[in-house]
Amino acid sequence: MTKPLPGKKLSTRLFVALFLTAILVLLAVTGAVVAVSWTIYEHGAEETLVDQTRASAADLAGLDEGQMVAHLSSTALANTRITLVAADGRVIFDSDYEASTMPSHAARAEIAAARSEGTAVMLRASETAGSDTLYAATLVDGSDDILRLSTTRSSFAYYLGNLLPALFAIMALAVIASLVVARVITGKITTPIVSIDPEQPLESETYVEVEPLLARIEEQKLKLVEQNRQLERAVTLRREFTGNVSHEMKSPLQVIGGYAELIESGIADGEDARKFAGLICAESQAMRRLIDDVLTLSRLDESASGRTSLFDLVATAKVVLVRLAPMAAERDVRLFLAGPDVAWVLGIETLAEQVVYNLVDNAIRHGRAAGRVELDIRCSAQDVVLDICDDGDGISPEAQQRVFERFYRVDPSRSRETGGTGLGLAIVKHGVESMGGSVTVGQSALGGARFTVRLPAANGV
Ligand code: ADP
C-alpha cells in the first residue's frame, strides 16, 4: 500500500504553492512601487520648495528691509508660509504670524544650516497628525537675511492611507486572478499524472521524470502476467499429474481386488491360490514403487531433497552397480564402469544416487537382454559428466523429446511389465536440475540409448 503524505494531495499542494507565490510576489511588488513612488513624491516636494525659495530670495536681492517686507506682504504662495529672518535671528516678516511677537529664530536648524551652507532643507513632524512640515531656507543675496519657505506635506502614513483603498481594490482583483491562474496551472500540471492509465502505463503521455516509474509498473505488470501464466501451468500440470497417479493406481488395485475376490470365494485353491497371491504381491510392489516415485517427485517439487555436500560420483556409481547387479544378472546384462578413480561433485548425494539408479535401471530394463550397459565418467573444470549407454533399440528422436515427461512411456505395456512407473526419467531431470546440472538423451555408440548427466564439479577440492 502507498503511504499518502498526511492530508496532502499533489493538486492541493501545487495550488497553494502557486497561489502563495503569486501573493508574495504581488505584495513585494506593491511594497516596492509604493516605496519608490513615495521617494519620488518626497524629493519632488523638496525640490519644488527649494526652487520656490531661491526664486523668492532672488526677488528680494538688493532691497532694503522695508522694501522686502512690502514685497513679501504682496506675495501670496498657495499653502506656503513665508518667513524672513534677520542675521541675529529676529523675525522680520512672517506671512502667517505677527512678526514682532515671534521669538528669535537663530537657533532653528534650517536657519543655522542656511547661514553656514547657503541653502538648507529640513523636515519636521508637525503636531497635527497626518502631515509634516518641510522647511527650505536660503540667504538673500546682498544681505544677511534668510528667507524661509515652509509647506505642509502629507506624512508617509497619510500618503499610504490615501493609497489604501486603491491598493485593496487592486489586491482583491489580483487575488482573484491568482486563484484562477493557480487553479488552471495546477490542472495543467497534474493532468498528465492523474490521467496515467495503469493498464497501459507506457501509452500515457507524461513527464520524463515519471517515465522510470511507469516503465517499472509495466515491467511488474508483465512479470505478474508471466507469474500467473506459470501458476496456471503449474496448477494444470498438478491436476494432470494427480489424474495420472489415480489412473496408474487403479489398474494394480483392480488386479489385486480381482485375485483377492477369487481366493476369498474359494474358486481358486491350492496351487492357483498361491499363484494369485504371487500376482497380488507383484502388483502391490508396483504400487509401492509408484508411491515411492510420486513421493520423490513431490519432495523435489518442494525442493526439500536433502543437503548439498561434496561427494564422489564414482563411489555413487559403484554403489548403484552393486545394488543393480542382481537385476542385471537376471537379464544377463553386463555392467561396465570407466573413468577416473574419484570425481568430486557438489550436490545432494542421495539424489545423485537415485538419478544414477534410475538411468542404469532403465538401461537394463529397456536395453537388450544379454547386452551391455556402460557407464563412463569424465571430469572437466566446471562439471563432472556421466554417460550411461546401452546396446538396446534406443529411443527415436521424436520420443527423445518427451521421455522426461511424467508418465510418458514409448511402450506403456512393456514399461509396466518390466516394473516401470513412467516417472523414472522425470525424477532424473528434476533431480539433476535441482542440483544445478543437466541431463540429455541421444544415441549411444553401442546402438542403444545414451543418457548424459552433467553435475557441477567441486572445484579446487
Ligand atoms: P519407465 O518407468 O517406464 O522406465 P521412465 O521415465 O524411466 O519410465 O522412462 C520413460 C520411457 O523412456 C520408458 O518407458 C521407455 O520407453 C523410455 N526409455 C527410458 N530409458 C530407455 C533406454 N535406456 N532405452 C530405451 N528406452 C528407454
The answer to whether residue 150 is domain-embedded is yes
Question: Is the domain of 239 the same as that of 141?
Answer: no
Name the grid cell of 164.
Answer: 489604501
pLDDT in tens, the chain (461 residues): 566 666 678 889 999 999 999 999 999 999 999 999 999 988 998 999 999 999 999 999 889 989 999 999 888 887 899 999 998 999 999 999 898 899 999 888 999 999 999 899 998 876 655 778 899 999 998 888 999 999 988 788 888 888 899 989 999 999 999 999 999 999 999 998 888 888 888 888 889 998 898 999 999 999 999 999 999 998 998 899 999 999 999 988 999 999 999 898 888 778 888 999 999 999 999 999 999 999 999 888 887 667 889 999 999 999 999 999 999 999 999 999 999 999 999 999 999 999 999 999 999 999 999 999 999 999 988 999 999 999 999 999 999 999 999 999 999 888 888 888 999 999 999 999 999 999 999 999 999 999 999 999 986 44
Nearest ligand 1 atom, CA 392: 24
Question: Is the domain of 371 the same as that of 286?
Answer: no
Question: Is the domain of 136 the same as that of 67?
Answer: yes
Pocket (CB within 6 angstroms of ligand 1):
358, 362-363, 366-367, 390, 392, 395, 403, 408-411, 415, 420-426, 448-449
Ligand 1 center from residue 279 Cα (angstroms): 23
Final residue before a domain boundary, out of 128, 158, 188: 158
Ligand 1 center from residue 315 Cα (angstroms): 25
Task: Ligand 1 pocket test: pick from 409, 416, 440, 450 the residue with the most ligand atoms within 8 Å of its Cβ.
Answer: 409
Task: Ligand 1 pocket test: pick from 355, 415, 444, 452 the residue with the most ligand atoms within 8 Å of its Cβ.
Answer: 415
Domain containing 68: what range?
Answer: 12-158
Spatial CA neighbour of 64 closest among 140, 148, 136: 140
Nearest ligand 1 atom, CA 427: 6
Question: Is the domain of 289 the same as that of 321?
Answer: no
* pLDDT in the model for residue 452: 98
The answer to whether residue 165 is domain-embedded is no
Ligand 1 center from residue 267 Cα (angstroms): 38
Read off the CATH number of the domain in which 27 is found: 3.30.450.20
Task: Ligand 1 pocket test: pick from 359, 361, 362 the residue with the most ligand atoms within 8 Å of its Cβ.
Answer: 362
Nearest ligand 1 atom, CA 410: 16
Ligand 1 center from residue 425 Cα (angstroms): 7
Question: Is the domain of 384 the same as that of 267?
Answer: no
Question: Is the domain of 28 the same as that of 119?
Answer: yes
Ligand 1 center from residue 421 Cα (angstroms): 9
Ligand 1 center from residue 10 Cα (angstroms): 65
Distances (CA, A) of 194 to 7, 12, 186, 205: 18, 13, 11, 11
Question: Is the domain of 290 the same as that of 417?
Answer: no
Task: Kindly report the protein residue whose alpha carbon is nearest to atom 4 of ligand 1.
Answer: 420
Question: Is the domain of 152 the same as that of 209?
Answer: no
Beta bridge mates, 387: 376, 452
Ligand 1 center from residue 47 Cα (angstroms): 117
Residue 374: how many other CB atoms lie within 10 Å = 20
Spatial CA neighbour of 143 closest among 228, 64, 53, 25: 64
CA distance 100 to 103: 8
Domains contained in the chain, number:
3
Ligand 1 center from residue 311 Cα (angstroms): 27
Ligand 1 center from residue 366 Cα (angstroms): 6
CA distance 371 to 449: 13
The answer to whether residue 53 is domain-embedded is yes
Work out the angle between the directed axes of helices 10-60 and 65-74 (0-180°, nearest 10).
130
Final residue before a domain boundary, out of 277, 302, 327: 302
CA distance 362 to 359: 5
Question: Is the domain of 48 the same as that of 69?
Answer: yes
End-to-end CA distance of the chain: 49
Task: Ligand 1 pocket test: pick from 425, 446, 453 the residue with the most ligand atoms within 8 Å of its Cβ.
Answer: 425
Task: Ligand 1 pocket test: pick from 287, 290, 389, 403 the residue with the most ligand atoms within 8 Å of its Cβ.
Answer: 403
* pLDDT in the model for residue 6: 65
Question: Is the domain of 21 the same as that of 152?
Answer: yes
Question: Is the domain of 20 the same as that of 141?
Answer: yes
Spatial CA neighbour of 456 closest among 351, 344, 377: 344
Question: Is the domain of 315 the same as that of 230?
Answer: no
pTM of the model: 0.61
